[in-house]
């Protein structure tokens, strides 16, 4: 139980999610300038409450927060960072489905094969190989996390029924249209408006997840091609300056991918990850 943040921790994480803060801020601003804040502010509050309780009821979300909480506690311990890096690589790799795990290991083995060929051509360890390995480790680390994120996102989309969400929104809209002007109707209108706002937010999140899934699939193919190209350069070009320029260019293009991975943590359960890429090519994998 010590590695779980508890109900308040889950609520705090759900509340502080940037998209929620933006939506909440926009809702409050709209209520204030609408001229009827005494009506709309309670609606915004009700929608926020429904959002918070709905999000913390998702097991994947709680798992992501548990992992982040556990990672934070590990940072405070005296355990060496290298052990944490080795554990995290093994943990992600072992949690991949067989097909995704096989894909990662085949790409890594291709890098190792190209490295052995290059060393044979140069008569031993080359300076270009020394420069290329950290770049390949960086790409392999991103590739591994993308595979894990893809797995979690695919599972989320498979378990979420967008047609049911659309039907719920249509039903709520019809119920709102049938309401009259009585006091009881006003109270019911506030409740239905809050429920409609929450249902719409869920559908928007699903649409974003579908777009992210397509983006991740494209990124996986792109980064896999980059990894293979960089590994093959060791055979075709032994110039340290050329290898350095290619590694720097690849690293510069990782910022958007890293941001996408972090944004999907609440769905994928990936949690916090290491800032520095761990050694992947020069170690044995479990």
Encode pLDDT of 77-103 as tens digits: 544 444 456 678 888 899 899 999 999
The better pLDDT of the pair 44, 3 is held by: 44
User: Is 273 part of any domain?
Assistant: no
User: Is 274 part of any domain?
Assistant: no
Alpha carbons 203 and 49: distance in angstroms, whole number:
17
pLDDT at residue 2 above 60? no
User: Is 129 part of any domain?
Assistant: yes
Q: How many domains does the chain have?
A: 1
Of 284, 215, 221, 217, nearest to 256 by C-alpha is 215
DSSP per residue, 224-275: HHHHHHHHHHHHH---HHHHHHHHHHHHHTTHHHHHHHHHTHHHH------S
Largest distance between two CA atoms of the chain: 89
User: Is 157 part of any domain?
Assistant: yes
What confidence tier does 280 reach under pLDDT thresholds 50, 70, 90? confident
Domain hosting residue 209, numbered range: 6-268
Q: What is the pLDDT of residue 171?
A: 93
User: Is 134 part of any domain?
Assistant: yes
User: Is 200 part of any domain?
Assistant: yes
| Percentage with pLDDT > 70 across the chain | 74
The better pLDDT of the pair 90, 122 is held by: 90
Count other Cβ atoms within 10 Å, centred on residue 32: 13
User: Is 282 part of any domain?
Assistant: no
User: Is 1 part of any domain?
Assistant: no
pTM flag (> 0.75): no
Does residue 108 contact residue 280 with C-beta atoms inside 8 Å? yes
């Amino acid at each position: 139980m010590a590695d779980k943040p508890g109900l308040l921790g889950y609520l705090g994480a759900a509340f502080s999610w940037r998209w929620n803060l933006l939506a909440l801020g926009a809702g409050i601003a709209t209520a204030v300038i609408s001229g009827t804040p005494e009506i709309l502010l309670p609606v915004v509050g009700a929608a926020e409450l429904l959002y918070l309780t709905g999000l913390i009821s998702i097991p994947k979300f709680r798992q992501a927060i548990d992992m982040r909480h556990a990672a934070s506690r590990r940072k405070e311990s005296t355990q060496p960072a290298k052990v944490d890096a080795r554990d995290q690589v093994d943990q992600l790799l072992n949690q991949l489905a067989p097909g995704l795990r096989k894909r990662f290991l085949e790409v890594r083995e291709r890098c190792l094969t190209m490295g052995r060929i290059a060393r044979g051509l140069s008569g031993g360890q080359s300076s270009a190989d020394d420069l290329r390995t950290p770049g390949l480790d960086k790409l392999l680390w991103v590739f591994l996390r993308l595979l894990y994120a893809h797995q979690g996102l695919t599972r989320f989309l498979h378990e979420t029924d967008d047609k049911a969400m659309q039907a719920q929104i249509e039903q709520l809209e019809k119920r709102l249209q049938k309401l009259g002007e009585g006091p009881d109707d006003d109270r019911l209108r506030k409740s239905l408006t809050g429920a409609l706002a929450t249902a719409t937010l869920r559908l928007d999140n699903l649409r974003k997840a579908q777009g992210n899934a397509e983006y991740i699939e494209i990124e996986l193919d792109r980064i896999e091609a980059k990894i293979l190209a960089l590994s093959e350069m060791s055979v075709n070009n032994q110039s340290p300056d050329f290898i350095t320029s290619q590694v720097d260019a690849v690293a510069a293009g990782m910022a958007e991918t890293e941001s996408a991975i972090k944004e999907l943590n609440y769905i994928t359960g990936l949690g916090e990850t290491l800032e520095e890429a761990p050694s992947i090519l020069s170690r044995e994998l479990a």
